[in-house]
Structure 1
Amino acid sequence: MRTFLVAAVAAMAAAVTSTQVPKLDQDILKTHTVPAPNAVEFDKLLAEKDVVFAKSLAPTWKQLSAAFSVLDNAAVVHIDCDKHESLCTSHGIEGFPTLKLYRGTKFEEYEGQRSVGALSDFLVNRVDAPIHNFGTDPSSPPPTPVLNALLVVGLTFLVGFSLAGYLLFFRPGRKASPPAFFSQPDTSTVRPGHGAVYKVGSFPNPQASLLEVLETAVVTNGDGAFLGRRRFDAAGNAGPYQWDSYAAVYDRIRNLSAGLQHENMIDPTPGDGRRLLCIYMKNCPEYVVAQYAAFYAGGAFCALYDTLGASSTGFILSQTQGSTVICTTSELKAIVQVKASAPTLRHVVVCDVVIKAQADLDLCGQAGLQLWTMRELELVGTKHPRPATYPKVSALSFLMYTSGTTGDPKGVEITHANILACAAGAKDRLNRGDGAVCFTPASIHLSYLPMPHILEQIVQSVMISAKGRIGFYQGNTLKLTEDLVELRPTHFVTVPRLLNKIYDKVIQAGGSSSSGGGIKGWLFKRAVQTKLANLKQGYQAHPLYDKLVFSK
């Protein structure tokens, strides 16, 4: 007497699923009869299922047959060779202890233990995708292989879609913490019936000048990159950023200051005795060199800029009694034109050329001005070095003229303490919370907001105190996005008007391929929407979109 197990191969194997041993229903076991097919029925089983046969292990074999009877593609059957001798002969069924698993006309010999557990494990490992018949409607036809395949594909799609949704909407677990508020009691305000008044004390009062802050960065990070610019080729195309170190920039500052002092170009002005250096140019490394050269001499600088107008430039030079203006050749003509209204003006220093053009020499000579290059004065300084004259923290650092609402520009006196206090507040606020540290030696700042304005001065002082890098734009705000892509700053300081322009360019660039639809355009829009929603919730990073979309 022989016993057989029949199991069908699934229409589609599910790689991500695993077969489990069917749970044995005791009610089924009580009423279950091991099928005993004849030759015709057995051939039909071979065509539809995989067949395993063995010597009867009753009642073990009945338990095994009942357990797998819940599967439509598996069946344990009983073959009686005494009744079906031709069946056993045609299929090579031999006596005990032979046990075979049939897959169609092919078979596999089983040589393990004859226990329910061992046999179940053997069968489970070979039934890749069992088809369950739950018997909810006996009159309904059993599932077809095509239907089962569709179910597997649908389930796989659902799992994949859910996973994709999780990635698309995933928010990192670390949020930027809000700033902590500090206060300290002012005991001098205590009086009967009233306690101390609490005042903000989140950062200490500045104890050093801007020059000393820079010197600290030079000592601790002398070889680190400091000021960067993009050089232009013969065709006018901007190249990659090139950097000068903190030590190299400080050498230029020291030499320029010594040269200015040696040539009496930053002498104390009559009346208040201040040493004042006027600067008139767009943001560039030489602007920083010039203003810190004034600090090195114990003086301050006064900013001139186009938006005030030519008449305002003459007014400022006259009111400040400035004797020297550092500029580029682009501003040279404007300076010469206002010479008549600035009688104290004697020197003009151009920083964007090494050799002075004869036309510029003639132009300045006719106006009674002496023309220098910054390089000339730096060479003078190397031959006539001067020690630093450190300004007090309460001393003037920056004379900032504003347009005002009426009349002539108004000069606002900004001290070293003013700038450093604002810088300390910004650093204290922005360097708080996980993932919110803006200012470190690895930080990169794009300088394009006018340096005559206080915001850019504050940010640059923060960057210097953090020993970070400052990269300057090309001088054209229309190409600002090109500079952003090339520099890749770690933060972006801006104002609403420029931010709107940049936003429009970014959206236009990201959505150019999506104007007519498409996956790329949809992905960009989805990334922007998700990023904005996350930022409102305090999440600054997105593991998928930052790499897939915003890093491009």
Structure 2
Amino acid sequence: MPLVRDHIEGYPETIPFTKQGVEVPGTKKPGQTGHYRNGVWGLLTRNTPNALTTITEIYDSGMRVGKDAPFLGRRPLISTNPVKYAPYYEWQTWGQVDHRRRCVGSALSLLFKTGKLGGAGELETVGIWAMNRPEWQIVDLAIATYGKVDVSIYDTLGKDAVEYIINHSHVTSVFTSADHIPTLLKLKPKIPMLKAVVSMDDFTAETRTILTQWGWSVGVHVMDMKEFEAIGEANLIEPIPATPDQLVSICYTSGTTSNPKGAMLTHGMLALSVQANLYGLNLPDEGSTMSYLPLAHIYERITELATISTGAKIGYFSGDPLRLIEDCQILKPSLFPSVPRVLNRVYQAAMLAGDVPGLKGALFRKAIQAKMEKLHATGDNTHFFWDKLVFRKIQAVLGGNLVLVTCGSAPIHGEVLDFLKIALACDVLEGYGMTENCGTCTKCWPFDPSASGTVGPPQAVTEIKLIDVPSMNYTSEDKPRPRGELCARGENIMKKYHKDEKNTQEAVDEEGWLHTGDVAEIDDFGRVRIIDRVKNIMKLAQGEYVAVEKIENTYSSSAAVAQLFVHGDSLQSYLVGVVIPDPLHLSAIASRLSSSKVTPDDVKSLGEACKQPEVVKEFVNILDKEAKKGGLKGFETLKRIHLSLDPFSVEDGTLTPTFKIKRKDAYKKFKAELDALYSLGEPGAGSKL
């Protein structure tokens, strides 16, 4: 790994926390702020000395650790009934992965050249539809190395979305897991361009016969990776040099209201984003990254490419979220990329386990106070005594070897981040990005005592500005801080969506600025804070405009809330919502109010508790406290709620694969309950309580 760090500058000896984002003189115009750039590294471009500009360069950089060094690993499956995984990771070396990517890439080149693949569109696209696993990364590296274009499909997507993406991007071959093959073969009449399906799982003799014959009957060649790689091994060619402007990926966003949009990403966009994320990244030489967030999402994609560039290892989870903790304790990762829904669980479990009566609880609270005071005063989140006495067990939950935890994809409460910093005693950094800018826009700096609650300054590859949103009363002249829609520009910004000129023009203006749709403010240190959303604005009966996503994010900061959906009717003057309570908190409340013990796994009793008015009232009080803490106005607060144990999910169509709520589908799921809440009338207005 030092081979890469040699050409990447670190932070200065004295970190200029007060100048993390710096306004470029002479760039301010009416209706917008000036342009802000990173206060240490300025603006990274392909002309910056030693800049990474292609994925091939990223791979070659990591490959220098040596062909025998471990690279991609997973826990072997040792039993299917019951399902059981080995208590260790099995690794493929850099040399083994290099050979496999050459075999896959050579086979793709031959099959496209001979016309057995391709011919459906102007681009040579290749689909990947699978859960995170070593083969996912091997195939993707092969695609990038041999001049093809990847189309990644979320493992959890339903057949309608898969059909749309395959047709829209003209995919003629899909690498997938064996469980998805029947879906693809059944879809064949609706995806006529599909010519080949390659299973990442090895076939048994019986499975091979059934699937290959089924495939031939509908005009699809079905094979497994061994067979496909054998084609390449018999026809090996050298990697094809890439250029920064060469298209390498069509990365589809997970649409909440319409069909997903395909961001067209080049080698240069991805490579420079990786470079920007490497600045200030210090992983140990034998470090590893835990891979469990979907690789079809740009956040995980960039994280793994950054790991690859340093020559570190990537350990893939066993595929079951319930085994993630077990996977971490075996892998002992250095880097744990995460999202609020996971980190909130860690926070909630730690708080419930530690904040108890007696000496144990007193020591826990004393440890939090001491470490929090040190963190806010100095930025140092370690403590020789309290880390060993109190926080060692919490750190061991995720393997005990963490150097960095990153958080993105959705907002997280600053209090949660601060607690995780002191409990895990490692860097816990929040960032902000989108598919359209390769997941790289802003990121907090390590050791910043007051970073929590912000998403940090612009990263080195990006410059940002805010533009006025008059309809929401946000302006660049607001005091004490400028506010407005966040816009970003840089060589990592996509130029267009695939075959979608209308959405392209709405997203990227003629000067190359990406309009994010998020409202932000920039503080005195040049850090960004996301405060609202331009879209998903609705108008209540009395004329007030409300941003439902902002309200949901505010309420979701409560540890008692697992999921929350805010609904408004333009004929009504107030908001209602659905709350999916956290089982641990619900059980505690139900136990207290009923004077009998209710456990978190007692689904029947928890379901009954959700119907009790006093339990509902308790949750309303919890939400009211969050509303007050978050500064919500009276008309932005929930006046009535429905408690349910039936969560929003990807499977029932109410969540996107990145766990954003599909508003129309969420309302449809709880239409009867939400309409019933409105039928009761507004509390305090002569209605029923």
Task: Give the structure-2-normalised TM-score.
Answer: 0.48
Question: Which of these two proteins has the greater Rg computed from alpha carbons?
Answer: 1
1:313 correspondence with 2:162: yes
Residues 197, 347 of structure 1: CA spacing in aligned structure 2 closer, same or farther, 3 A cutoff? closer
Question: 1:361/1:504 Cα in 2 relative to 1: closer, same or farther (>3 Å)?
Answer: farther
Determine the structure 2 residue equivalent to 1:287.
Answer: 136
Amino acid at match of 1:225: P
Match of 2:214 among 363, 385, 397: 363
CA RMSD for the aligned pairs? 3.2
Aligned equivalents of 1:461, 1:328: Cα separation in 2: 22
Residue 152 (structure 2) pairs with residue 303 (structure 1): yes
- CA deviations on 1:217-266 (whole Å, 9 max, x unpaired) are 21343322211111122242222112222222111111111123333499
* Aligned residue number for residue 233 of structure 1: 78
Letter in 2 for 1:544: F
Instruction: Tell me whether 1:251 sits opposite 2:99 in the alignment.
Output: yes
- Are 2:129 and 2:153, in contact at CA under 8 Å, matched by a contact in 1? yes
> Which residue of structure 2 aligns with residue 328 of structure 1?
177
Query: Given residue 541 of structure 1, which amino acid in structure 2 is its aligned partner?
Result: T
Residue 218 (structure 1) aligned to one of 49, 63, 77: 63
Match of 2:245 among 394, 402, 424: 394
Structure 1 residues 320 and 266: CA distance shift in structure 2, 3 A? farther
Q: Specify whether residues 458 and 197 from structure 1 end up closer, same or farther in structure 2 by C-alpha distance, changes over 3 A only.
A: closer
Separation (CA, whole Å) in 2 of partners of 1:359 and 1:531: 61
Which residue identity does 2:103 align to in structure 1?
N
Residue in structure 2 matching 1:345, options 186, 189, 194: 194
Do residues 482 (structure 1) and 331 (structure 2) align? no
Instruction: Give distance in 2, aligned partners of 1:242 and 1:176.
Output: 40
* 1:425 partner SS: helix
Structure 2 unaligned runs (5+)? 1-12, 28-33, 397-689
2:380 alignment counterpart: 539
Note the C-alpha offset of 1:420. 2.0
Say if 1:344 and 1:250 are closer, same or farther in 2 by CA, change over 3 A: same
Contact 1:266 1:275 survives alignment (8 Å):
no
Give % identity: 26
Shift of 1:299: 1.2
Deviation at 1:464, TM superposition (A): 1.1
The 3-state SS of whatever aligns with 1:282 is coil
Aligned partner letter, 1:466: T
- Could you tell me which residue of structure 1 aligns to residue 299 of structure 2? 455
The residue correspondences of 1:143-222 to structure 2 (distance < 5 A) are 178=17, 201-205=42-46, 206-222=51-67
**1:376 pairs with 2:220:** no
**C-alpha offsets along residues 129-183 of structure 1, whole Å, 9 cap, x if unaligned?**
xxxxxxxxxxxxxxxxxxxxxxxxxxxxxxxxxxxxxxxxxxxxx9987497598
Distance 2:273 2:223 in 1: 35
Aligned residues: 361
Q: Could you tell which deviates more after superposition, 447-456 or 498-507?
A: 498-507
- Tell me the CA shift for residue 286 of structure 1: 0.5
1:543 Cα offset (Å):
2.1
Q: Deviations over 1:39-96 (max 9, x none)?
A: xxxxxxxxxxxxxxxxxxxxxxxxxxxxxxxxxxxxxxxxxxxxxxxxxxxxxxxxxx
Question: Structure 1 length as normaliser, TM-score?
Answer: 0.59
Q: CA deviation at 1:272?
A: 6.1
Tell me how far apart the structure 1 counterparts of residues 381 and 284 of structure 2 sit (CA, whole Å).
17
- Once the two structures are superposed, the pairs formed by residues 46-57 of structure 1 within 5 Å of their partners are none
Residues 72 and 313 in structure 2, CA contact (< 8 A), matched pair in contact too = yes
CA distance in 2, matches of 1:225, 1:522: 44
User: How far apart are the structure 2 equivalents of 1:392 and 1:298?
Assistant: 10
Distance in 2, matches of 1:364 and 1:394, equals: 37
Alignment partners' CA distance in 1, 2:229 and 2:371:
49
Seen in structure 2, the aligned counterparts of structure 1 residues 530 and 176 have a Cα distance that, compared at 3 Å, is farther
Q: Which residue of 1 aligns with 2:522?
A: none
Three-state SS of the structure 2 residue aligned to 1:298 is coil
CA distance in 2 between counterparts of 1:203 and 1:416 reads: 15
Question: What residue is the counterpart of 1:77 in the other structure?
Answer: none
Aligned-residue offset at 1:204: 4.4
2:120/2:193 contact within 8 Å kept: no
User: What is the CA distance between 1:310 and its match in structure 2?
Assistant: 1.1
SS of 1:544's equivalent? helix
**Other-structure match for 2:123:** 274
Would the aligned equivalents of 1:300 and 1:397 in 2 still touch at CA under 8 Å?
yes
Alignment partner of 1:473 is 2:473: no
The corresponding residue for 1:418 is: 269
Native 8 Å contact 2:212 2:223 kept in 1: no
Matches within 5 A, 1:64-75: none
Pair 1:494-2:345 in alignment? no
- Aligned: 1:406 with 2:253: no
